[in-house]
Amino acid sequence: MDQADVVILGAGAAGLFCAGSLAGQGLRVVVLDHARDPGEKIRISGGGRCNFTNLGTSHQTFLSEVPRFCASALAGYRPEDFVALVDRAGIAWHEKAQGQLFCDGRATQIVRMLVDRMGLAELRLGVAVQGVTPGMPLRVETSAGPIEARHVVVSTGGKSIPKVGATGIGYDIAQATGHRIVETRPGLVPLTFAQQDLRLSAPLSGVAVTARASLPAAKAPRRAAVAFDDQLLFTHRGLSGPAILQISSYWRPGEELTLDLHSGDTAQALRQAKREGGRVQVATVLARLLPERLATAIVAEEGLEGARLADQPDARLGALVRRVHDWRIRPVGSEGYRTAEVTVGGVDCRDLDARTMASRHVPGLHFIGEVVDVTGWLGGYNFQWAWASGHAAARAI
Ligand code: FDA
């Protein structure tokens, strides 16, 4: 029988990091992945430059049914710790916005750094994990035959982007071994519109605007009100851009989103322009505040094409202002796991120990990274969770 001290299932961000944190302890560590290369999601992340952490990481930048669950692991391994690792590896980086740290060069540098850091751990690629049988030792079924170990770390990630190797195997393993699963859904994903809403948005495909996307508080499932200020991008299927990706992780099918397309005071700008000489067209004034194509489309929708500002009663302009600052839209869905950056939900944190990521039901079994019901905002938080949870499990082993 093939045996190891620790078998890590998945050579993604969390699995590679956990293996590296176990290096030098004299343990026989085996890392399994069905892909041809390790760290495929790291390679494609951050537009190929890997947004490897966020300096503003806190438990408040994550979604989870147990909001404080991630705090302990995040405190045990901080963004600064990962930055020190990156610096030691000589990888150049820069801060883009809001604490988001990216490589100057290719994301593959991070993959190489993580693989080097694994030391003597054995990386077995092209091996599909099929299941785990509890017991001591635990037994892992794989396409290359079974392997036994005292510790098994499940780091098989979520369901997003099957094209780069994602499967739901981690959830299946968790469920089959007595763990609850918080319902999974695509997160950080573009939202799609019904045909009638596409009438306005599809012709605007490619237009970007700084906006606020918000959702009100909800009772079931319970959620506080949430809002994100960032770029919004019109697509031929609906909406994308960071503001929409962020809110998509909170959005539930059937819910209405509120969009504020201008951070300034549109009513005041219209009043001022009217005072200064109302011969100007409504569309001209609005195009000073919004991208021209967007301003033209909104004006047309409000029936104000070619209309002079001076001729408009306040009520008419009020409707226009509401359309800019309080646009209510009910997406019909999302682009799904095909393009989602993450999977929201996962292994229920109530079934795991927050300090060690160990199962409360199966001795020796750990869950780390995206497979756990801990989902970060856009901006490097998800990798920080992968590093921190991998580190926590390694420390406990
Ligand atoms: P991850 O998905 O990295 O690894 C899971 C591994 O398990 C994979 O290697 C997979 O092949 C393997 N596996 C799955 N099923 C298996 C089976 N049955 N048998 C064997 N192996 C199996 N985050 C961030 O912080 N900054 C960023 O810039 C980005 N950018 C980004 C871009 C895109 C396009 C995506 C899709 C995602 C991001 N993310 C991100 C999110 C980030 O990539 C993600 O949260 C982490 O990779 C999760 O790390 P894990 O190790 O948990 O899963």
- Residue from 32, 156, 189, 367 to probe ligand 1 pocket by mutation (most atoms less than 8 Å from CB): 156
pLDDT (0 to 100) of residue 7: 98
The structure tokens 């104000």 sit at 304
40: CA distance to ligand 1 center in Å?
Answer: 7
Q: Secondary structure of 223-261 in the HEC alphabet?
A: ECCEEEEEEEEECCCEEECHHHHHHHCCCCCCCCEEEEC
Tokens of 90: 């000589």
Residue with CA nearest ligand 1 atom 32: 45
Determine contact, residues 41/157, Cβ cutoff 8 Å.
yes
CA–CA gap between residue 277 and residue 309 (Å, rounded): 9
Q: What's the CA gap between 41 and 158, in Å, rounded?
A: 11
Q: Count other Cβ atoms within 10 Å, centred on residue 129.
A: 24
Distance CA 158, CA 240 (A): 21
Residue ID of nearest Cα to ligand 1 atom 15: 167
Mean pLDDT of 356-383: 98
The whole-number average pLDDT for the span 346-373 is 98
Pocket residues for ligand 1 (CB within 6 Å)?
10-15, 32-35, 40-41, 44-46, 50-51, 128-129, 155-157, 160-161, 165-167, 169, 341-342, 369-371, 380-383, 386
Q: Give the mean pLDDT of 256-261.
A: 97
- 387 alpha carbon to ligand 1 midpoint, in Å? 12
Ligand 1 geometric centre to CA of 208 (Å): 28
Check the CA dihedral 336-189-383-223 and report its sign.
negative
Q: Give the pLDDT confidence score for residue 1 in this predicted structure.
A: 86
Q: Are 346 and 370 spatial neighbours (Cβ–Cβ below 8 Å)?
A: yes
Q: How confident is the model at residue 278 (pLDDT cuts 50, 70, 90)?
A: low
- Give CA–CA dist 59/375, Å, rounded: 10
> What does the pLDDT average to over 85-109?
97
ipTM of model: 0.99
| Residue 349 or residue 313, greater confidence | 349
Q: Which residues lie closer than 8 Å to 265 by C-beta, 6 or more apart?
A: none
Q: What is the mean pLDDT of the chain?
A: 96
- Higher per-residue pLDDT: 62 or 165: 62
Residue 159 has pLDDT above 90, yes or no: yes
Give the closest residue to 284 by CA, choosing from 263, 261, 309.
309
Q: Look at strands 147-154 and 129-133 and give their pairing.
A: unpaired
Residue nearest to atom 45 of ligand 1 (CA): 382
Whole-number Å distance, alpha carbon 215 to ligand 1 midpoint, is 28
CA-CA distance, 242 to 188, in Å (whole number)? 8
41/341 Cα distance (integer angstroms): 9
Q: What is the rounded distance in angstroms from the CA atom of residue 80 to the CA atom of residue 207?
A: 36
